[in-house]
Each structure stands twice: as structure tokens, then as C-alpha cells.
Amino acid sequence: MAEQAVPRPVDLPSDLRHFIDGKPASSVDGATFPVADPVTNEVYGRVAAGDAADIDLAVAAAKRAFTDGPWPRLTARERAKILNKIADGIEVRAERLAELETFDTGLPITQARGQAHRAAENFRYFADVIVALHEEAYIVGDKQVNYAIRQPAGVAGLITPWNTPFMLETWKLAPSLASGCTVVLKPAEWSPLSASLLPEIMAEAGVPDGVFNLVHGIGEQAGAALVAHPDVPRISFTGESGTGQIIMRTSAENLKEVSMELGGKSPCVVFADADFDRAVDAAVFGVFSLNGERCTASSRVLVQREIYDRFVEALAARAAAVKVGMPADAATEVGALIHPEHYARVLEYVEIGKREARLVAGGDRPAHLTSGNFLQPTVFADVRPDARIFQEEIFGPVVGVTPFDTEEEAIELANATKYGLAGYVWTKDLQRGHRVARAVQSGMVWINSHNVRDLRTPFGGIKASGVGQEGGVHSIDFYSDVRAIHVAVGDLHTPQFGKQG
Ligand code: NAD
């Protein structure tokens, strides 16, 4: 279609290779896989398809850099300087990064720009954290001093999903490198493009060879080999809950420490006394930003009966007015979904929703976008808690609304899925806000706010949404081994076995 002919970014890389020990590399067996953009679904390039042999090389390089290289032994300040240079490198490329990300993932350009800046901030933030880090010390009377030190754990395996790829890669790279680990990153196969800027950013910043390694590939091959590798003591994974379970099973073989950031089906609970307009703004943004491909999306909106009809009407009207369009267009609010396979899956949920609930907005491809993975923002009302669209993560611009009468019922509904990532509570009653926030079973709750997160706060889910916390010092702890050191400074009595005479 002429209207959908999108110009490709200039100098679009079409041969995406691994980066191992400071050098670009093809796969050992020469294998590649194709990658397409989500607007034309035409192949724009080929990506090196890593498997166990490539992972072996990358892990060996990372292990050498960890054992023999300077990185883990640098002072915090020295590493922080390099992390800040990485942030500089990201910032000067922010526009290019956003352009590539938008082209590759279908995310609206304005949102991709925000993600590029957040990626730089991830490095600046963790640079600050490590120079300000303090350790524990305990004085045991006048006999002993005990203290604990963190030491980098070794080679960290980082496995990332296709939604907001670059931002999530840096969310793992920044703390792992800050902690002194060396890393092997395995980006998602549907969105490998923005990671191709990382090698030059790292090299320019002065990251020594072997500290940062990148292996592309299919999850079940490259990802699985990284998880199974005995020389990788940490796996930080973000992706689907089912994949997380597989990774935990494999990690058990080597007793690896894992950090799991998994799926979600987060509730947005709106009480009748809430600021109606702000709650509508937040509900709309919470589920339709990032194309709805957002782990913390408020994909279940629970509304108190007194305002239910009015809220559904407002949500439907706003959804119908959301601008769906070309990802590179600055006016676009919802772009194209990542891949035809994912698009088909989301459409299937829309069909299921039509049988399970009342469709009040969207439900189809926008009339003006006759090809590409586009979907109208879709709202279902009267969604029952046993509906599949209430229980299952859709990961697209689809939201379900469910009425409730009492606070107890709201909490029960909020907790009625296997997930527990985020929650949002809207009420002017402060006490109720806190009460409900505590009762909602999820790792993060916002009261009268959409998802705005300070990097110092813990990030993570409970139930099927995750294991462990990232963010702030939690991330540094994950990438570190702790050693407790006990020093006798006084006359410490030692029982004298064998001296009974
Ligand atoms: P996915 O689980 O299919 O893939 C994620 C990554 O794991 C990819 O790099 C993939 O190649 C790799 N992988 C797949 N199988 C593997 C295996 N057997 N061993 C090792 N690696 C393997 O997830 P996705 O579809 O890319 O991402 C969407 C999911 O991610 C959604 O469920 C979303 O909620 C979740 N997510 C969670 C967070 C969070 O912070 N909690 C953030 C973003 C996305």
C-alpha cells in the first residue's frame, strides 16, 4: 500500500552479527535467521543465529575478562566513569536509537525516544549507586569486628524480550557491569536491531574486550545454551512466565542464582470517589502506551458500580480516539505490533473477548491501515473473572473492564489471577488507598498515579510475575557474591580441645 510505504532508516544494518571478545563475529556454523519490520513484515536483514558453540566462545571470553582482566578489580569510581561514558554514547545516539527501535519494533517514535533517554539514565544511575555503596559492619563487643563485602559474581547471562528491547537490555547491563561482572547478552530474536549499536558504544567508552559480549539467536538454542552453561553463575531473565519456568528448571542443574521478571495482568482499581478524569487518563495510557506490549500494563480495569457505566463510556470514547498510525510519525500513539505471529495471537484474544464480554471499542484492524500488524485500541466491558481475557496476558492494546461493589470485592478481583506484577489504585480516601495497595498481591502498586518509577525503588513481581527484585541496590546484590569476614580484635576465647591433660 502506498500509504504504508515506510522509508527505511538510512544505513540500516542488514547483517547483524555477534560481538565476542571485542570483535564482531558470525556464528561458528554460519547460520543466520531473517528479521522483518512490523509495518511491512518484509525481511530487512539477517541475524547471526547463535547456538551452543557461539555461547561457549562468548562465555570463555567473558570468563577470561573476569579472571585475568581489569574490570572486576577497578575501583567503583573507575567503573563509574566508564558507565557514564556509556551513557554519553547512548545520549549522542538517542535519535538514531529511537529511529532503529521504532523501525524494528513498531513502537511509536515519541515513546522510543523516551526509552533511549531512560537507557542512558540506567547507566548514570548505577554509576552513582556503586560509588555511594556502603557495606555492613558489626562490632561484637571488644572481641570481634564482622563485616560483609560484595564481590562481583562472575559471568552474568542476560536474556531480554522484544518489548522496549534497548531499554531492558541496559536495565540489566548497567547493574551487572557496575557490579564488576562480565556479561553475555542474548537479545530477543524479533527485535535485534538496536543492540547492534552496543558494541561501538561500549568500545568508545573504554569497556575492555571480553567484558561485554553479545550473542544473537533463537531462545531455545542460544538462550538455552547460555542458561545451561556451567561458567555462568547468574541469569537475569525478562520474558514470559512459561519461559521463566523452563529457565529456572535448567538453572537448578547448576544451582544458579536467577532473577525473573515475568508476565503480568495488572489491575487498575478505580473507586467511585476517584478523580474521574485523571483515572481515565491513567487507565488509557496504562494499557495503550508501548502498544499495550508492556509488562506492567493495566490490562484489567476494575471500576466501582456507581461510576461504572460512565467510566466504560469514557474509556471507550478515548480508546476510539487514540491515534493508531505509522510508528515513525510523531503524532502516533499506538504503532504496529511486533510480529505477525504475535499479532495473530492478540487478534485471537480479541475474538475470544467478543464471545466472553461486551465489545465497546475497537476489535479490528483500523480501516486506514490495510496491512501491517495494526489493531484498534480495544475495550471490553462486563468481563467476568473466569474469562480468559481476564486471566491471560494478551500483551497488546486490549483492556477489559469489570464492575465491583465493595472494597473487599475489589481486592478479591484484583488478586484473582496467577500474576502479581503491578497494581494501580484510584481513590481520594488516603487510608483506603494504602489499605488496598497493601492487599493487592503484586510487586509494585501505584496510588493515584500511572506507572512512573524512580530507579531507586525495587522492581519485580510476585506469584507468576517474577522471582527476586531488581532496581537500586537489589540489582547490585543480585550480581554480587556476599562474603562475611570475621576478625578477632580482642582476646577471643578458643576452646582448647586435646589439652585436658
Ligand atoms: P519470551 O519468554 O518468549 O522471550 C524472552 C527471551 O527469552 C528472548 O530473548 C527469547 O529468545 C528467550 N528465550 C526463549 N526461550 C528460551 C529458553 N528456553 N531458554 C532461554 N531463553 C529463551 O518473552 P517475549 O515474548 O520476548 O516477551 C514478552 C513477555 O515478557 C511478556 O510476558 C511480558 O510480560 C514479559 N515482560 C516482563 C517484564 C518484567 O519486567 N516483568 C518486562 C518486559 C516484558
Instruction: Identify whether 76 is part of a domain.
Output: yes
d(CA 438, CA 13): 48
Angle subtended by helix axes 94-105 and 76-92, to nearest 10: 70
Determine which residue's CA is closest to atom 8 belonging to ligand 1.
188
Determine which residue's CA is closest to atom 23 belonging to ligand 1.
239
Instruction: Indicate the helix (H) or strand (E) that contains 433.
Output: helix 430-439
Q: Are residues 252 and 398 in the same domain?
A: no
Q: Are residues 273 and 250 in the same domain?
A: no
Which pLDDT value is given to residue 4?
53
Q: Are residues 118 and 208 in the same domain?
A: yes
Contact 357, 379 (CB under 8 A): no
Q: How many CB atoms lie within 10 A of CB 331?
A: 10
Instruction: Identify whether 138 is part of a domain.
Output: yes
Mutate to test the pocket of ligand 1, among 105, 122, 158, 159 (most ligand atoms within 8 A of CB): 159
d(CA 319, CA 307): 18
Q: Are residues 419 and 334 in the same domain?
A: yes
Instruction: Identify whether 452 is part of a domain.
Output: no
Q: Are residues 321 and 416 in the same domain?
A: yes
| The one-letter amino acid at 477 | D
Phi-psi region at 30: left, alpha or beta (left = phi > 0; alpha = psi -120 to 50): left
- Cβ < 6 Å from ligand 1: which residues? 159-163, 186, 188-189, 219-220, 223-224, 227, 238-240, 243, 246-247, 261-264, 295, 393, 395, 421, 461, 466
Looking at 447, 476, 494, the residue that finishes a domain is 447
- What is the DSSP secondary-structure string of 165-184? HHHHHHHHHHHHHHHT-EEE
Closest CA to 445 of 308, 315, 296, 299: 296
Determine which residue's CA is closest to atom 14 belonging to ligand 1.
219
| CA of residue 104 to ligand 1 center, whole Å | 17
Instruction: Identify whether 459 is part of a domain.
Output: no
| CA of residue 44 to ligand 1 center, whole Å | 23
| CA-based end-to-end distance of the chain | 98
Which pLDDT value is given to residue 209?
98
Q: Which atom of ligand 1 is nearest to the CA of 164?
A: 43
| CA of residue 238 to ligand 1 center, whole Å | 5
Per-residue pLDDT of the chain (501 residues; tens, 9 = 90+): 444 567 799 999 999 999 999 999 999 999 999 999 999 999 999 999 999 999 999 999 999 999 999 999 999 999 999 999 999 999 999 999 999 999 999 999 999 999 999 999 999 999 999 999 999 999 999 999 999 999 999 999 999 999 999 999 999 999 999 999 999 999 999 999 999 999 999 999 999 999 999 999 999 999 999 999 999 999 999 999 999 999 999 999 999 999 999 999 999 999 999 999 999 999 999 999 999 999 999 999 999 999 999 999 999 999 999 999 999 999 999 999 999 999 999 999 999 999 999 999 999 999 999 999 999 999 999 999 999 999 999 999 999 999 999 999 999 999 999 999 999 999 999 999 999 999 999 999 999 999 999 999 999 999 999 999 999 999 999 999 999 999 999 999 999 999 987
Beta bridge partners of 244: none
d(CA 404, CA 388): 18
| CA of residue 339 to ligand 1 center, whole Å | 14
Q: Which atom of ligand 1 is nearest to the CA of 243?
A: 2
Q: Are residues 67 and 179 in the same domain?
A: yes
Closest CA to 391 of 404, 379, 400: 400
Determine which residue's CA is closest to atom 15 belonging to ligand 1.
219
Closest CA to 301 of 227, 364, 361, 247: 361
Q: How many CA atoms lie within 13 A of 371 on its CB side?
A: 11
Contact 180, 212 (CB under 8 A): no
| CA of residue 264 to ligand 1 center, whole Å | 12
Backbone angles phi, psi at 273, to 5 degrees: -90, 5
Which pLDDT value is given to residue 2?
40
Domain count, the chain: 2
Cell 543480585: give the residue.
478
Q: Are residues 334 and 431 in the same domain?
A: yes
Backbone angles phi, psi at 140, to 5 degrees: -105, 90
Q: Are residues 234 and 305 in the same domain?
A: no
Q: Return the DSSP state at 132.
A: H
Residues 6+ apart with CB under 8 A from 225: 50, 51, 52, 55, 56
Q: Are residues 87 and 212 in the same domain?
A: yes
Contact 290, 391 (CB under 8 A): no
| CA of residue 240 to ligand 1 center, whole Å | 5
Would you state the cell numbers that stand for residue 374, as one nine-digit string?
Answer: 495494526
| Residue 220 CA, distance from chain mean position | 19
Three-state SS string over 75-117 comes to CHHHHHHHHHHHHHHHHHCHHHHHHHHHHHHCCCHHHHHHHHH
Beta bridge partners of 25: 18
Q: How many CB atoms lie within 10 A of CB 324?
A: 22
Determine which residue's CA is closest to atom 35 belonging to ligand 1.
239
For residue 261, indicate whether it is catalytic.
yes
Q: Are residues 229 and 275 in the same domain?
A: no
Contact 335, 163 (CB under 8 A): no
Instruction: Identify whether 320 is part of a domain.
Output: yes
d(CA 365, CA 350): 11
The active-site residue out of 189, 261, 293, 393 is 261
CATH number at residue 189: 3.40.605.10
Domain coverage including residue 45 = 15-262+465-485
Would you state the cell numbers that stand for residue 235, as one nine-digit string?
Answer: 541469569
Closest CA to 419 of 209, 240, 165: 240
Measured over the CA atoms of residue 18, residue 23, residue 26 and residue 29, the dihedral's sign is negative
Cell 531499554: give the residue.
167
Measured over the CA atoms of residue 66, residue 70, residue 73 and residue 74, the dihedral's sign is negative
Instruction: Identify whether 456 is part of a domain.
Output: no
Contact 447, 434 (CB under 8 A): yes
Would you state the cell numbers that stand for residue 178, as one nine-digit string?
Answer: 557496575
Q: How many CB atoms lie within 10 A of CB 11?
A: 7
Residues 6+ apart with CB under 8 A from 277: none
d(CA 359, CA 382): 9
| The one-letter amino acid at 199 | P
| Strand pairing category for 15-16 and 300-304 | unpaired
Q: Are residues 231 and 304 in the same domain?
A: no
Instruction: Identify whether 140 is part of a domain.
Output: yes
Cell 537507557: give the residue.
119
Q: Are residues 399 and 478 in the same domain?
A: no
Determine which residue's CA is closest to atom 19 belonging to ligand 1.
224
Instruction: Identify whether 335 is part of a domain.
Output: yes
